[in-house]
Amino acid sequence: MKSLSHSLRLYVGTVSLLGGGIVLLALSHLPTYDLGGYAFFVLLSMLIEAAAIRWQSPKGRVVSASSALTYAVLIIYGPLPAGLVNAVKGLVGALYPERRSWHRAIFDAALLAISGTVAGLSYLLLYGLLGQSSRILVFLAAIGAGLTDYFITATGTAIAVALYRSTSALKAWVENFDLIPTPYLLLAVLGIIIALGYGEFGLLGLALFFFPIFLARYIFKSYIDKTHRQVELLRAANAALDMANQELIETLAAIIDARDIFTYGHSIRVTDYALAVAKEMGLPEEEREMIRKAGLLHDIGKVGISERILTKKGILTQDERHILEQHPVLGEEILGRVKDMIELAEIVGSHHERYNGKGYPCGHKGQEIPLAGRILGVADALDAMLSDRPYRPAMSLLQALVEIQRNAGMQFDPYVVEALLRVAEKAEADFFKNSTRTTEAASIQQADDHPQTTFFRPKSVSVASHK
């Protein structure tokens, strides 16, 4: 109890002493007139607890089926025997199947001893007030006992949670327990049925009653265990399939890039830049995974474009440019044939759209363009600027970023551009790359000579300047 506060230690100690006193009192007042039957109830309660035959409440609290035996015992034998049964089942539940700390186990058992005894007293009180003329009234008295058991257990636990978390008991109660404890009401009714059955048929009737329950539990557990094994196998198969799909996507990206020596590795770099921007914008993992796939496959449509056009070392003619601008359409058509890649296809088809609506192939603008497409558009343009081309050398990082910032709101989404600038400020020098080398900040001296043209100094540029 070293980690517990003084107030929580005092509370746990008080409950434990009170519960322990009830257990000792119950042991001195065992129902000797039917000791065998009572021992059977105790043993059965322990078996049910150990077998983990339980329900779960809407708020996730676990309710043991052995509570039905507690309610049967309080009807048959009275409050103290019920408190002892409750304590024993609490101790078993605290030690098996998951062992709790010793002070938690003692506290749980003591609290249940208190709740079971008080529930028995409430049954006697209600039974006396309502009278014995009708079995319906007996049912009501038992339901009242079940509610008493629940609210004492819930309140006692809520106080402990509140002391542990330094919060209010009411808040802890509301967060962890239900106002209407449906499982306890059903267990109270089941307890009455067990008590009536035991009164009519004795131990044989009790055994016949619980044998189907244990059998059903065994069959159900076997089914669940088998299902869990199948689920694990499916998970392993899905993981292998995901890995195969990933390798296939990366292979396709390499094939696409290999068609042009000047764009080799382009898809990987675009993906890296796009993922960094997406992370900076706080996009969830699922969206970033979609961007990763789209980045690797964004130029897949180029498989349908003539290699003569892709590798031409001069300015493209108008007809050649029109053909080249069809690659987003071809990419969307290729990926769109796969049912699970419809969203991915839409992103690939939109990565050359412009924020002002003057892009291609559809002329979409602003929010009409998927966010992933807007991010890829910026990443694609950045890598194109940073890489050598047959008709021009690569730009420096600073030149490329200034150019992208100048086109924010026109070609590029300004929010995506802002995220890119934040990435650049924090990135290491080797994050932004040319085809075969780390991008050199060739214009650092120019930036120093003309500070009015420098919007910011990225960390990647600053680091390079000091090496």
Domain 6-233 has CATH 1.10.287.130: no
Closest C-alpha to 373, from 413, 340, 407, 339: 413
Closest C-alpha to 93, from 125, 60, 37, 54: 54
Pairwise CA distance, residues 403 & 396, whole Å? 11
- pLDDT at residue 114, rounded to an integer: 94
pLDDT 10s per residue in the chain (467 long)? Answer: 446 788 888 999 999 999 999 999 999 999 998 898 899 889 888 887 776 655 555 555 666 778 888 899 999 999 999 999 999 988 888 777 667 778 788 998 999 999 999 999 999 888 777 665 566 777 888 889 889 999 999 999 999 988 888 888 888 888 888 777 777 888 888 888 888 888 888 877 777 666 666 665 566 567 667 777 777 877 777 777 667 666 767 777 666 666 655 555 788 889 999 999 999 999 999 899 999 989 888 888 888 888 788 777 778 888 888 898 898 999 888 888 887 788 889 999 999 999 999 999 999 999 999 999 999 999 999 998 988 776 678 888 899 999 999 999 999 999 999 999 999 998 887 888 874 443 333 333 334 444 443 344 344 444 333 33
Distances (CA, A) of 365 to 278, 353, 362, 412: 20, 7, 9, 10
> Can you give the length of the chain in residues?
467
- The ranges assigned to domains in the chain are 6-233, 259-466
Local structure of residue 96 (DSSP, 8 states): S
Closest C-alpha to 346, from 374, 366, 325, 324: 374
Closest C-alpha to 328, from 357, 306, 349, 344: 349
- pLDDT at residue 348, rounded to an integer: 92
Domain 259-466 has CATH 1.10.3210.10: yes
Contact 291, 275 (CB under 8 A): yes
Name every residue whose Cβ is closer than 8 Å to that of residue 273 and which is 6 or more positions away in sequence.
Answer: 378, 379, 382, 383, 420, 423, 432
Pairwise CA distance, residues 72 & 239, whole Å? 50
Q: How is 327-385 classified by DSSP, letter by letter?
A: HHHHHHHHHHTSGGGHHHHHHHHTTT--TTS--SSS---GGGS-HHHHHHHHHHHHHHH
- pLDDT at residue 460, rounded to an integer: 45
Pairwise CA distance, residues 277 & 186, whole Å? 55
Beta bridge partners of 64: 54
**Residue found under tokens 């106080």:** 159
Closest C-alpha to 374, from 340, 344, 351: 351
Q: 295: which 2 tokens?
A: 């980045």
Three-state DSSP state, 300? helix
Contact 439, 433 (CB under 8 A): yes
Contact 146, 119 (CB under 8 A): yes
Distances (CA, A) of 93 to 24, 66, 238, 247, 361: 20, 10, 36, 48, 65
- pLDDT at residue 209, rounded to an integer: 67
HEC string for 273-296:
HHHHHHHHCCCCHHHHHHHHHHHH
- What percent of the chain has a predicted confidence (pLDDT) above 70? 79
At 230-272, the pLDDT tens digits run 778 777 777 776 676 667 677 776 666 666 555 557 888 899 9
Name every residue whose Cβ is closer than 8 Å to that of residue 448 and which is 6 or more positions away in sequence.
Answer: none
DSSP run (H or E) holding 267: helix 266-280
Pairwise CA distance, residues 264 & 262, whole Å? 6
Cα dihedral 415/417/423/424 (nearest 10): -150
Pairwise CA distance, residues 131 & 73, whole Å? 20
Contact 53, 213 (CB under 8 A): yes
**Cα 443 versus chain centre, distance:** 47
Contact 136, 125 (CB under 8 A): no
Pairwise CA distance, residues 299 & 348, whole Å? 8
- pLDDT at residue 15, rounded to an integer: 93
Closest C-alpha to 397, from 429, 436, 354: 429
